[in-house]
Amino acid sequence: MTLYGIANCDTVRKAKKLLEQHGHSLTFHDLRKEGLTPPMIQTWLKDVNYADLINKRSTSWKGLSPEQQKAVDAQDLDLVCQFPTLIKRPILATGSKLLVGFNASEYQQL
């Protein structure tokens, strides 16, 4: 399992803690430190809707110009990679499933 997120995000910490408490071994990929690439996003898009990946409530989204917001909405993956905090966190890739955001009951079903 790979957990994608930002190390200092409270939601990511909750997800990581829950998974570890239930004995899951996981790899953590810090989107801010280790980066985000268009191929990573394209892989996720095989399992989830693009709109579900973008966090329009984030301060990163609010800090974008209207033109940049339109570009993100038009799936400008390079721009999303420049601002990895636009991605909803965490993203959990289990190998057979991709979970976007943290829902404790979904995580416990793993």
**50 inside domain:** yes
| Residue 84 exposed, middle or buried by CB count within 10 Å (0-12, 13-18, 19+) | buried
Domain containing residue 30: CATH number: 3.40.30.10
**57 inside domain:** yes
**82 inside domain:** yes
**34 inside domain:** yes
Q: Is 81 a catalytic residue?
A: no
Supply angle C-alpha 26, 89, 41, rounded to 5: 85
Which member of 6, 9, 91, 100 is catalytic? 9
**110 inside domain:** no
pLDDT score for 108: 83
Beta carbons of 6 and 32 less than 8 angstroms apart: yes
**Domain containing residue 97:** 2-105
Q: How many domains does the chain have?
A: 1
d(CA 16, CA 68): 31
Sequential pLDDT tens for the chain (110 residues): 999 999 999 999 999 999 999 899 999 999 999 999 999 999 999 999 999 999 999 999 999 999 999 999 999 999 999 999 999 999 999 988 999 999 989 988 87
